[in-house]
């Protein structure tokens, strides 16, 4: 009888040790998962800041562009107003990079696309003013705008490149279980727009 009790206690001890080891492994993996996701999330936040900076650079160029153009195209106030309104809407949308949902990113893209369209119409109007096109400040601003559009395209792609490994990591088994526990959800990508497969050219604005 005593021997059976001893064997039972031994098995119980082994079971407790086994459960303890399993719990230790799970907790250790949970910590490792959490730290890895934090690193990936921080990378996304950094890339998103660069995206916002590039778009903000474009928004900052627009008032300077219109200021130079006003004395040459003073009768285009209606077009100027539409650009100002589109710029205001585009710069008013703020997104938390730690929680970028498809709906938020779509709203952001739509506002930026609205500004692109308004700016396209404005530059098409400027084509009717040869003296404006010959102005050195105007030409420099147009060059800077083209460089900024190139930067926007680059930063959007870099952002997507950081989102991809994050999304893959949290969807793998057993990572998906920990992702649900820690409330880490899949992040949205920038979706390609017409012509986004190539670096934009300032003439693309005029053609629209």
pLDDT tens, residue by residue, 38-84 = 999 999 999 999 999 999 999 999 999 999 998 888 888 899 999 99
Per the prediction, the chain carries an average pLDDT of 85
Above 90 in pLDDT, residue 161?
A: yes
Q: Do 136 and 111 form a contact (C-beta atoms < 8 A)?
A: no
Dihedral (C-alpha) 39, 180, 165, 196: value to the nearest 10 degrees? -110
Q: What is the CATH number of the domain that holds 128?
A: 1.20.1440.20
Question: Could you list the residue range(s) of the whole structural domain that residue 33 is in?
Answer: 2-207
Above 50 in pLDDT, residue 24?
A: yes
Nearest to 47 by CA among 198, 200, 196, 190: 190
Of the pLDDT bands very low, low, confident and very high (cuts 50, 70, 90), residue 176 is very high
Number of domains comprising the chain: 1
Handedness of CA 186, 153, 84, 80 (dihedral sign): negative
Which range among 44-48, 50-54, 159-163, 202-206 shows the weakest confidence by mean pLDDT? 202-206
- pLDDT at residue 7 in the model: 46
Nearest to 80 by CA among 37, 119, 50: 119
């Amino acid at each position: 009888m005593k021997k059976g009790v001893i064997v039972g206690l031994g098995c119980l001890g082994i079971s407790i040790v086994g459960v303890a080891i399993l719990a230790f492994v799970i907790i250790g993996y949970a910590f490792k998962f959490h730290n890895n996701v934090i690193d990936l999330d921080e990378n996304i936040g950094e890339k998103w800041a660069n995206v916002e900076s590039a778009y903000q650079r474009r928004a900052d160029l627009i008032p300077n562009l219109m200021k130079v153009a006003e004395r040459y195209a003073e009768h285009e106030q209606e077009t100027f107003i539409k650009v100002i309104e589109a710029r205001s809407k585009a710069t008013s949308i703020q997104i938390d990079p730690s929680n970028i949902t498809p709906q938020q990113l779509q709203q952001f893209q739509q506002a930026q696309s609205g500004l692109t369209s308004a700016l396209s119409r404005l530059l098409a109007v400027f084509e009717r003013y040869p003296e404006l096109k010959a102005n050195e400040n105007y030409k420099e601003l147009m060059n800077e705008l083209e460089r900024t559009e190139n930067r926007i395209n680059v930063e959007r792609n870099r952002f997507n490149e950081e989102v991809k490994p994050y999304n893959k990591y949290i969807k793998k088994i057993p990572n998906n279980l920990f992702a649900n526990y820690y409330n880490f959800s899949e992040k949205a990508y920038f979706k390609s727009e017409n012509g986004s497969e190539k670096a934009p050219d300032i003439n693309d604005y005029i053609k629209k």
